[in-house]
Amino acid sequence: MTTRPFIVGNWKMHGTRSMLSEARAIDRAAERLIKVEVALAPPFTLIHAVHKEAGLIAVGAQDCHPADGGAHTGDVSAIMVKDAGASFTIVGHSERRAGYGETNALVKAKAEAAIAAGMSVIVCVGETEDDRAAGKHVDVVTRQLKGSLPDSDGAAERITVAYEPVWAIGTGNTATTDDIAAMHAAIRAKLVALYGEVGEAIRILYGGSVNAGNAAEILTTPDVGGALVGGASLTAESFLGIIVAAAERDEA
């Protein structure tokens, strides 16, 4: 597959307007590193400002509500984040699955709302340490895919999958490249089973403690189409190391 690597920064609940200078610096670098597709998912409160001030990179949300609007205090709909400048949203991040009890069915409803609003989606899946210790990791991820992926018309063209082992997120532990390759192959097989030939072209990102030091190795692992990056996306300096590794990937 020859698609451009996709490097997405997930700022989580970090960032006030003082962080816009980081977004601008990331945007300037992305202008030079055109081989890489770069995106940022800041908190809701910064989507509009990042969209305005970092116009070359894609801006996305970290979540959305499945309804278009209504009596849902504190929630934000897909239509709203699109209106603020988001072109995609992350759904099903493990911090939301674990912290808010989000089910596969809810994640799927959110993904379908985002697609109906005209955005693309990054659907996150990943096993816990216990799942892996019990040898259930492929089953767990396959079930998450089956239950969370949207099946509305044209959905497959708007999906990216992010494989993020829960035990690798924010811990400094990354999966081995063999484990990543094995899981990405299993995800690919499931995508093809669900969507047919279109499933071959869906990008699969790896996430979990990706940084400038390990990015080159991870990004050259078979069927890794990019990275979803948390901690190391919070400064332009650390994020750029990953973007540069992605730019150099096809030259290696």
Catalytic positions, written as ranges: 93, 164
Residue facing ligand PGA at closest CB distance: 230
Instruction: Considering the complex, state which of residue 112 and residue 164 has its C-beta at the smaller distance from ligand PGA.
Output: 164
Residue with tokens 């996306």: 233
Give the nearest distance from C-beta 41 to ligand PGA in angstroms: 9
* Burial environment of residue 251 by CB neighbours within 10 A (0 to 12, 13 to 18, 19 or more): exposed
Q: Which helix (H) or strand (E) holds 228?
A: strand 226-229
Instruction: Considering the complex, state which of residue 92 and residue 230 has its C-beta at the smaller distance from ligand PGA.
Output: 230
CA-closest candidate to residue 252, choices 224, 230, 232, 233: 224
Binding site for ligand PGA (CB under 6 A): 10, 164, 169-170, 207-210, 228-232
Q: Phi and psi dihedrals of 120, rounded to 5?
A: -100, 170
Give the nearest distance from C-beta 161 to ligand PGA in angstroms: 13
Instruction: Considering the complex, state which of residue 145 and residue 169 has its C-beta at the smaller distance from ligand PGA.
Output: 169
What residues pair up with 120 in beta bridges, in sequence order? Answer: 88
Q: Within 13 Å, how many C-alpha atoms sit on residue 226's CB side?
A: 25
What residues pair up with 161 in beta bridges, in sequence order? Answer: 123, 204
Give the nearest distance from C-beta 214 to ligand PGA in angstroms: 10
Give the nearest distance from C-beta 176 to ligand PGA in angstroms: 16
Residue with tokens 């992926």: 149
